[in-house]
Amino acid sequence: MSDNSRNKTMVPEAKAAMNRFKMEAANEVGVQLKDGYNGELTSRQAGSIGGQMVKKMIKKYEQDLANGQ
């Protein structure tokens, strides 16, 4: 992710963790990311990464709700 991106991390301290999360989601859907700019990705590839991230966040939230957290 470039430094001049308009996407801002809400908690700056979480930036490294979010990048690891993005890389993990990309690997799960079979998209190879490199560190830094990945402008050569198709919309489908980028969307599949984002969709996988959302699925994982929803699953974690549901698990937390089920566990009373």
State how far the Cα of 49 lies from the Cα of 16, in Å rounded to an integer: 17
- Segments making up each domain of the chain, as ranges: 12-66
Encode pLDDT of 7-35 as tens digits.
777 888 999 999 999 999 999 999 999 98
How many other C-beta atoms are found inside a 10 Å radius of the C-beta of residue 22?
Answer: 17
**Taking the model in full, what pTM does it have?**
0.78
Cα-only R_g, the chain: 14
Residue range 44-69, pLDDT digits in tens: 999 999 999 999 999 999 999 999 87
pLDDT of 1 strictly over 50: no
